[in-house]
Amino acid sequence: MVAIAGATGFVGKAITSALVDRYRVIGLTRSPTRAAQEDDRGVEWRHCNLFSMAQVEAALEGVDYAIYLVHSMLPNARLTQASFVDMDVLLADNFARAAEANGVKQILYLGGIRPEKDAAPSRHLASRLEVEEVLAARDTPTTALRAGLIVGPGGSSMRMLVQLVRRLPLMVLPSWTLSKSSPIAIDDVVRAVLRCLGDPETFSRHFEIGGPEAMTYREMMRRTARHMGKSRWMVPTPFFSPRLSTRWVATFTGAPIELVGPLVESLEHTVVPEPNWLNDWLQETDTQTFEQALEGSIDEGGRPVENPRAAMIRADTKTIREARTVRSIQRLPLPGRAGAAWATDEYMHWLPRFMWPFLDVVVEGPVVEFKLRFVGTVLLELTHHHDDSRHDRQLLMITGGVLAKLHEQWRGRLEFREVLRGRALIAAIHDFRPTLPWYIYNFTQALAHLFVMTAFGRHLRRIAQGEEPPVIDRPPLLPRRTTNAPPPDERWIEAE
């Protein structure tokens, strides 16, 4: 059985179609629209919000192999206070933990090629490499396929390229259009996936794959124009302004700026595959040329083929707005080997000092109350979810308070977790529904939360740098599990 996270995207759709005759395929989707629809190919769809650890664990039950194709560049809540980089890390960590818990035999991940000559990668490419690291950090063997621009019907990068060529008779080309890549046809990506899936020879390894030719983005535009029978003037400029390029591309392609920005930044780099046996195998078995792959990406009217998720995105965007939920994710420093359990307790001790004399934090058993001092009004009530908490992840459900609107479907929660092998801490609020009117909330409580988390990050950084002494001899505020204990460290021995 194979589960595919990201099965509704253009890469996921192609891989799913290739696997249905060989495996029982499970498509994971956060789209209620997709989950409710029948699939004539025989794919079993499981509704799964990857931000929910419980849902991911349930979705991967009985799965032998898992394919991870997820990117989080588009909004997933009415208000999202998070960078796509931090969301990607958290989602990948959920997936890796769930795969490990279910005994999945292999995770296969499609990421991006590392830039040549040790160049500092863009945010987008750095995020792809971080996700690869997070997936590989658990016990499940991970196979990473790294690719550059994928050419196929509905691909975001190809849609932008075709729209630029179609709409602009005169194009001023920034310096990033001279960077080289090896565009690869979606059919060849699928062949690489089939070659690696279930093959122990590929476990715990990465492979960079590409098409038969390395070319600049400018050359891709020339070839696309020639293929479409259009004459285009291209004027080079030596300047590279990511912000200006992003606005320019978004305006003329109609793509969301949240999607365009990271992709434009990544085009600054030369990304061609390093030699490896898998890429050699692809080249020896009739790899498609750029023009051959381009053929299926453009419809009869000369327009780019629409992303297969486009209709679902429109329907889901309406659902997201009506749900009025908040997601807020911040990456914070994690001193030494302190752990998420220590960080959660430290937050409960630090917050009333930082917010004195306005706020008090009262902990009674598993229940944590944030109260207005002297008045006693409970602003938020959280309940520690002991069964789903470990040393490296602490989960608290939002169970009351005048600032929270409770709902059976949207279960608000706060979590602290270690990521990137303990090098960082993620603090996240999921599915929170405020009682304040939406626009008042945006300019009051939402900003206050960011202010507090930024200050807590500074506090942790001072401890990490030795500017503040860590308090390690006080008993924990919240119950601790005896399993998943932290590794020994003289500085961070916790008092149990």
Check pLDDT > 80 for residue 75: no
Per-domain residue ranges for the chain? 2-318, 326-492
pLDDT of amino acid 484? 47
Lowest average pLDDT, out of 55-59, 80-84, 160-164, 208-212, goes to 160-164
pLDDT tens, residue by residue, 177-194:
888 889 999 999 999 999
Q: 323-363: per-residue pLDDT in tens?
A: 789 999 999 999 887 889 999 999 999 999 999 999 999 99
Tell me: pLDDT of 483 over 60: no
CA angle 10, 15, 16 (to 5 degrees): 95
Homologous superfamily (CATH) for 326-492 = START domain (3.30.530.20)
Q: Using CA atoms in the order 265, 4, 97, 110, what is the torsion angle rounded to 10 degrees?
A: -30
Assign domain 2-318 one CATH number from 3.40.50.970, 3.40.50.720, 3.90.25.10, 3.50.50.60. Answer: 3.40.50.720
Q: Higher confidence at residue 13 or residue 489?
A: 13
User: Mapped to the 3 state alphabet, what secondary structure does the chain carry?
Assistant: CEEEECCCCHHHHHHHHHHCCCCCEEEEECCHHHHCCCCCCCCEEEECCCCCHHHHHHHCCCCCEEEECCCCCCCCCCEEECCHHHHHHHHHHHHHHHHHHCCCCEEEEEEECCCHHHCCCCHHHHHHHHHHHHHHCCCCCEEEEEECCEECCCCHHHHHHHHHHHHCCEEEECHHHHCEECCEEHHHHHHHHHHHCCCHHHCCEEEEECCCCCEEHHHHHHHHHHHHCCCCEEEECCCCCHHHHHHHHHHHHCCCHHHHHHHHHHCCCCECCCCCHHHHHHHCCCCCCHHHHHHCCECCCCCECCCCCHHHHHHHHHHHHHHCCEEEEEEEECCCCCHHHHHHHHHHHHHHHHCCCCEEEEEECCEEEEEECCCCCEEEEEEECHHHCECCEEEEEEEECCCECCCCCCCCEEEEEEECCCCEEEEEEEEECECCCHHHHHHCHHHHHHHHHHHHHHHHHHHHCCCCCCCCCCCCCCCCCCCCCCCCCHHHCCCC
